């Protein structure tokens, strides 16, 4: 079997392709956060008072949007960092990979529900937000439980 055939069918290749996808989605998720932050500051801010005549509710919805953007950016950068770290490893850490995916999936639920709540005022979405938060926390804990440095490709201090 040639090296290219072996590489295409080996389990580490599929892990690597998942890690590449995780890393790319981290970049994309960060860019989307920046775009949604700009939309919130420039497009949404002027519309909230007409959508929510109650000033205190309009302010809460603006805070919801800002929270969603902040959490999205933080979790995108976390997934990106873990993806980049994994790409430099000889052997992938399933725990770290699951942690990175948990950051993105949990944040899609957390921030996605907050964005939808602001845009639709469907209040049941507010009850779903904590579920995304739990998945985000799981991601951080999985990453914290990862043994870093044990499979680094090169020694940094000699």
Task: Return the pLDDT at 149.
Answer: 67
Domain extents in the chain: 13-144
Model's pTM, two decimal places? 0.83
Residue that the structure tokens 């290219």 belong to: 4
Q: In terms of pLDDT, which residue wins out, 96 or 10?
A: 96
Task: Return the pLDDT at 10.
Answer: 41
Model confidence pLDDT, tens digit, residues 104-137 = 999 999 999 999 999 999 999 999 999 999 999 9
Q: Is the dihedral of CA 81, 140, 142, 114 positive or negative?
A: negative
Confidence of residue 147 (pLDDT cuts 50, 70, 90): confident
């Amino acid at each position: 079997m040639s090296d290219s055939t072996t590489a295409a069918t080996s389990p580490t290749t599929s892990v690597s392709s998942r890690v590449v996808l995780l890393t790319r989605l981290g970049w994309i998720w960060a860019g989307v956060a920046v775009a949604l932050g700009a939309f919130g500051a420039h497009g949404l801010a002027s519309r909230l008072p007409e959508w929510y005549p109650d000033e205190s509710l309009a302010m809460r919805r603006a805070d919801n949007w800002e929270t969603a953007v902040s959490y999205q950016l933080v979790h995108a950068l976390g997934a990106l960092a873990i993806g980049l770290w994994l790409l430099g490893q000889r052997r992938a850490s399933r725990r770290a990979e699951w942690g990175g995916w948990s950051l993105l999936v949990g944040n899609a639920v957390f921030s996605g529900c907050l964005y939808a709540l602001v845009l639709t005022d469907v209040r049941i979405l507010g009850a779903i937000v904590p579920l995304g938060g739990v998945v985000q926390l799981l991601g951080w804990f999985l990453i914290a439980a990862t043994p870093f440095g044990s499979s680094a490709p090169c020694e940094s201090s000699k």
